Amino acid sequence: MARKRKGEKIDGWVVIDKPYEMGSTKVVGKCRYLTKAQKAGHAGTLDPLATGVLPIAFGEATKTIPFLMDARKQYRFTVTWGEERTTDDLEGDITEKNDVRPTEKDIEIILPSFTGIIRQRPPAFSAIKIDGKRAYDLAREGIEVEIKEREVEIFDLKLIESNETDATFEVECSKGTYVRSLGRDMARKMGAFGYISMLRRTKVGPFGESDTISLEKLEELVHSAPLEGWILNVVTVLDDILALAVTEDQAAYLKNGGFIPSGEVAASNRTAGLYKAMLGEKIIALCEFKDDFLKPVRVFNL
């Protein structure tokens, strides 16, 4: 007999405006404490010094986290000129200094070099695993590590404002992009040194700043509003996946791992890829057509 989980069964998303100097894992813990949810997780770590959009998945929504992890992200960030630091942000020790202060014209010239598919080397203080250990743990131990360059995609990068001491940018990028590395490399391209002095995530997939609430607001809503008043539907992050309407009998069959003959499913096409089987507004399973059957790939217990 399966052991019953402790806590409330809550399924869906809440988008927290992550506060400054609080780690993403601590935000998840605070959300679980406030909601008494059985299960929770986040979609994409933010550095403690970063703020902004941090989607929190509860219960069955945790099964959709990979779809949000793969989504495009947007950030607003400030690069302060004159110093390079071990962490490429405010936390680190100064390693390099110079007096080069890029002008607005200097910046505009190099922006195309950082748009499209680019290669970047993540910061030494990052969550990347090297031989089973996090790079930031090795760095804190004084161990020098060789982090390989990786390809990422920058869809849009623009300068928002600039002065003698710093410049603020907005970027839309693929998963795996390190904004700290981007700021460092842009500075180097202009013969300067720079580090990230402000970083705010403004969008993750379908979630933007207008969707966020503070931890204080979540605490208020938990005590004053019904669940439907503050939780977002599990399917919110699956808008790009085609929906298939199923009957109650078909839904029950899929939830038990059964296959449905493709001819019995109302579908305009049966191309390769995932579909979401829906019973009304409720998702039953993520499925695929294979060998003339609709087969469940991921089942939701809602």
Residue 47 annotated to the active site: yes
CA-closest candidate to residue 195, choices 274, 80, 63, 288: 80
Q: Pick the catalytic residue from 11, 17, 47, 185.
A: 47
Beta 194-204 vs 51-58: how paired, if at all?
A: parallel
What is the distance between the alpha carbons of residues 90 and 136, in angstroms, rounded to a whole number? 15
SS3 call for 52: strand
How far the first Cα of the chain sits from its last, in Å, is: 20
Burial degree of 156 (CB within 10 A; 0-12, 13-18, 19+): exposed
Q: Do residues 108 and 142 touch, judged by C-beta distance below 8 A?
A: no
SS3 call for 131: coil
Active site amino acids: 47
